Amino acid sequence: RKEVEQDPGPFNVPEGATVAFNCTYSNSASQSFFWYRQDCRKEPKLLMSVYSSGNEDGRFTAQLNRASQYISLLIRDSKLSDSATYLCVVSFNAGNNRKLIWGLGTSLAVNP
C-alpha cells in the first residue's frame, strides 16, 4: 500500500461546480497534513494546512479524519484558475527529523 494515495484524475468540471478530492495515508503516526497546488511547469505552492477541526479558506475547505486516515479538499464555485494539480502531503517523525510524503497529485481541469 502506498504511503499517501490520491486519485490521479483528471477531474473535468464546469465552472461553478463543486469538486472534492480525497487522500488516504497509511502511517497512523502522521502528524501534519497539507494540500499543495502545482500549476503546469511551476513550483508547488502551499494551498492549505489541514487541521483536526477542519478549516476553511474562502471557497476551499479541508478536513482531516484521523480514524479513517484520510484528508479531503472541497472546492466550491470552481473557477477556471483553479485548474491545476493538487498534491496531498503528510508528515511524520523519522528519527530526529520529520519527513514529508507526497501523493502523486490529482489533476483538475475547470472548463468554461
Spatial distance between the Cα atoms of 63 and 69, rounded to a whole number of angstroms: 11
Residue-wise DSSP of 18-87? -EEEEEEES-TT--EEEEEEE-TTS-EEEEEEE-TT-EEETTEEEEEETTTTEEEEEE-S--GGG-EEEE
**Number of residues in contact with another protein under rule CB under 8 A:** 22
User: What are the grid coordinates assigned to 31, written together?
Assistant: 502528524
> Any contact of residue 87 with another protein (CB under 8 A)?
yes
Identify which range of 12-20, 57-65, 66-74, 102-110 contacts another protein by CB under 8 A: 102-110
Q: Which of 110, 98, 111 is nearest to 34 (CA)?
A: 98
Query: Using the rule CB under 8 A, is 66 a contact of another protein?
Result: no
Among 103, 106, 108, 110, binds another protein (CB under 8 A): 103
Which x/- pattern, by CB under 8 A, does the window 23-62 give for another protein? ---------x-x------xxxxxx--x-------------
**Which residue's CB is nearer to another protein, number 47 or number 75?**
47
**Interacting residue ranges for another protein, rule: CB under 8 A:** 32, 34, 41-46, 49, 87, 89, 91, 93, 96-100, 102-105
